[in-house]
Structure 1
Amino acid sequence: MVPSSSSSTISLTQTFHHSTNIFDYHIRWTSLGNPTLPPLIFVHGTPWSSRVWHVYAQSLAQYFHVYLFDNPGFGVSPLGAPLPEVKDTISTSVALDANLAQQSEVFAALYKFWAQDWAGSKAHVVAHDHGGLMSLRAHLLHGCEYRSLCLIDVVAVGPFGQPLFKLVAENEGVFTALTGPVFEGVVEAYIRDAAHRELDRETMEMLKGPWIESEEGRKGFVRQMVQANSRSTEDVEGMYHEVGKKMPVRVIWGKEDKWIPVETAERLKEKLNARDVVVIEEAGHLVMYDQQARLGVELGWWLANVR
């Protein structure tokens, strides 16, 4: 069983407001460490939140100014609200934001807001799951320049999708109507499948809690599953070769990842011109829980070398 994290909970005490031409966002975030240290940003994926990074953020705040945030509709950041003038005209595809275009745009705006305090410096970025595609889109499409990029079991190259994604997408109304222990069982099974080792009860409760404790959470979980079934990278994959020429890139993967096969890591390395691939044994998609110490060593080594 994976041991429970010894880190205390980090509160996201600050709010960043951003409006696109469709949505209004209020992103919760915080930073740790001395502001004069090099900036380091952790980006989470789905269906997680910034809490998956807490133990690493607390340790690395001794050497970096660490930033944590929750994506719209995850953790303590509310889902983006449609602007009144377009509320009744938004199509389902735009509302779902299947290619993460909206979330990437918000992250880019947040990054540039933070960068105002960096005196021309650039941040190191560590991203997991769909946070990988977000960070790549923010760089390639929105001009966010990073000091380095570390991608961990990321959504970045297709094909994507699991049987559950397709099942939920084709039966969205059925899954939205589920409540109580039945819905909780679906969420727990989904999270359990992301880990190679058994998660301790405290960690499981933390990961599934936001999705089962309210009707909004239940709808949000189903929405994420539908979105994941139709994810697309065609508009940025053709530019991936530029990334490794502009910054150091490392790819880290759990060897036992059931969601995105480990073979994807080498494909991504070649596309991005990344420096190297690190495959972590006895780890699944949730490598930060399966092999917490090993991932910590790899992150520490990488950041020490690119700093």
Structure 2
Amino acid sequence: MTITVTAPSSKFTHPSAIQHVARTYTSDQYVLPSDEEERKRLHLQHRLLRHTFEDRLILAPVELVDGDAVLECGTGSGIWLLDAAQQITANVDMHGIDIESRLFPRSHPSNMSFSKASVTSLPSEWTSTFAFVHQRLLVAALQKPDWERAIGEMHRVLTPGGWVQLDEVGSWKAGPTTAFHQTLVQQLFRAKGLVLDCATYIPAMLEQAGFVNISVQERSIPLGKWAGNHGADGAANFIGVFRAMKTPILKAGGLGFVQSEAEFDTLLDKVEREWDQTKGAEIKFYIFSAQKASSSL
């Protein structure tokens, strides 16, 4: 299975960075920041997605029992693990990993732990350890080869019969300003080698890694005040995502779309207004579930 990632235009190969007030980022590859503002947005995002999926955090048909272990990759602030601990009735060990520890929770239950690690290279001693592995929204972090390695690593660390759940975003739509901005985001992801439409390829990558019983649940999240509180929360979260991409976009010279920080901010203001005024503005979201075959080693 081949994933095509278009190379950036030579016009933008050596851009001049645009001066701006920058936030703290984990690496040049990852296009979202790692700071207290991002922690707050991640918590809003968690509430939004929990509401979108009827308060369910685990959609995979996994039956956890006492003594099982749960892993979350790309845990960020750990908000999913902290909330999932309230829904899981079995006595399980829970562990979260991320390449950046800055956002790890300051306090957590005694059966929960966190460590710095990459989903593309999990500890060798974790083979066949976890009954359930969760990963959410690494679309802004993983390049094409990373996705294949990550899914392979998650398969390796699962116990035979264990389940993985991958939560990822899809396309979004509203009006012409949104379409213009979406093209900008696409250009940024191409320049970074990231796969914006990763949700299209996840089922095939899961199958290629050896997973079985692959399924997906899809939802549309409304964007804008026209859809009440849920739409307002959706807009607040995703406009926060796009505003957080300011530094990588401006460091790349605006990618031919904006010429200054003020122009970037104005564009996002217009996108937000368009969402509020466009009934039907929405973004797709997907939750993939897959099982490691019981006979897998």
- Give the TM-score normalised by structure 2: 0.33
Larger Rg: 2
Which structure carries more helix by proportion?
A: 1
